[in-house]
Every structure is written in structure tokens, then in C-alpha cells.
Amino acid sequence: MEDASDFITVSLVSDVANATDVVDAPLVPAEPAPPITSRFLYVDVAARRAKQLRRGARLRYDIDPGIPAPKKPERQAMEEVRRCLVQYTVPPWKGLDGEAAGE
């Protein structure tokens, strides 16, 4: 069985305008991302965002006072994806051996 990452590729899009202008504000994308309906896509997008957070990226949402916030990057990434703050693109699936889907 081949690795699932060979078939699913997600690229995160960072369309945040002028991140150097505002230092303390969270980086919120201009438009919310489309909601994710697939659990597998949700896990893939959140994992890639968690990797960015572990490498020093800032959160894209404000932490509400009085409400416990997640501390681990994985949970923070899941919260960002749940709030539709992570932009992503999914390339079209070409099928096995390069043939188009549906043929």
C-alpha cells in the first residue's frame, strides 16, 4: 500500500497583508476559508498549520480572556481550522498512473 501523502497534497496559502506593519495583532486572512467537510482534509490542513506554529508562526485568532486556550500547537491549529482562518488549496486529483478521474 502506498503512502496516503502521495495522493493528498495540501498547500497552505498565506494571504495576510503586510504582516510587518502590525506586530501585536493576530494575522487574520482577508476572507474566511471554505469550511472543511472531510475529516481527512481537516487533519491534513491542521497538521501543516501546526508545523508552521511549531516553527514560530503567530496565532490567527485572539485568545479570549476567561476561556481556557489550547497551549499545544496541534490544538491551536485545529482551532484555527475550525474558525476557517487557514487558507488552503487542494490540487485536482489526477487518478492512478496519471489518468483523469472518471475515465
Tell me the three cell numbers of residue 52.
Answer: 508552521
Residue 17 has pLDDT above 70, yes or no: no
pLDDT single digits (tens) 24-51: 555 666 677 888 889 999 999 999 999 9
Share of the chain above pLDDT 90, in %: 29
CB burial string 24-39: b at 16+ within 10 A, e below: eeebebeeebeebeee
User: Where residue 96 falls among pLDDT bands split at 50, 70, 90?
Assistant: confident
Extents of the domains making up the chain:
4-16+27-90
pLDDT at 74 over 80: yes
**What is the gyration radius of the CA atoms in the chain, in angstroms?**
16
Average pLDDT value for residue range 19-27: 50
Distance CA(66)–CA(70), nearest Å, equals 13
